[in-house]
Amino acid sequence: MQDSVVPAFQLLLLRHARSGWALPGQSDFDRALDDVGFAEAELTAQSAADHRIRPDLILCSTAVRCRQTAEPLYRAFGEDIDIRYLDPLYTGPTTVYADLVEAHASRPSLMIIGHNPMIEELFRRILGEDRAAAALADAYPPAGMAVIDFAARPIAGKAWTATLSKFLVPALEEAEKG
């Protein structure tokens, strides 16, 4: 994990923070973060800022829990951060996530805020099963953010070459205090 080499493209994969179960009559789309989730989102945003991580563009699922995970990023990165909310990140399969990476690979960096299993599946696809398994204890954690550096810009139909430079996970003890 080197910080001195400037990657051709950097992808940040952020799984939404911990959310509560749907209330009676509430849709999955409208599920909100729970108290721990709000603290996790704040900790992840602050950790990204502390590591001087600031994406060129953020694509975020329109689901409530993802939008709530994105809110602290405005405070951490500044109000001028470009966040776009996309329904396909809620409704679509992993291929939608990969297509968005390819569509925005001309930028220096891209953050995607989305859902499991799509975030984890994309993470595994990019890094390969062995490297992904080594980075993940069990599964992609809530509010976990992978910083993935690409040696070349991802192009459709070509193999992607990338390495995991950082994996930021908020400390559960800190989130529970929050």
pLDDT single digits (tens) 24-62: 999 999 999 999 999 999 999 999 999 999 999 999 999
**pLDDT at position 6, please?**
84
Higher pLDDT, 78 or 111: 111
**pLDDT at position 42, please?**
96
Task: List, in sequence order, the alpha helices (H) in the chain.
Answer: 35-50, 64-77, 88-91, 94-103, 118-127, 129-135, 172-177
pTM of the shown model: 0.93
Separation in Å, CA 109 to CA 8, 26, 134: 9, 35, 24
**pLDDT at position 177, please?**
62
**pLDDT at position 138, please?**
86
**pLDDT at position 171, please?**
84
**pLDDT at position 5, please?**
75
pLDDT one-digit tens code per residue, 79-112: 899 999 999 999 999 999 999 999 999 999 999 9
| pLDDT at 2 exceeding the cut of 50 | no
| Whole-angstrom distance, CA of residue 56 vs CA of residue 33 | 25
| Whole-angstrom distance, CA of residue 11 vs CA of residue 163 | 10
Residue 50: other Cβ atoms inside 10 A: 10
pLDDT one-digit tens code per residue, 136-158: 988 999 999 999 999 999 998 88
| Whole-angstrom distance, CA of residue 15 vs CA of residue 118 | 9
**pLDDT at position 1, please?**
47
* Stretch among 3-17, 45-59, 67-81 having the lowest mean pLDDT: 3-17
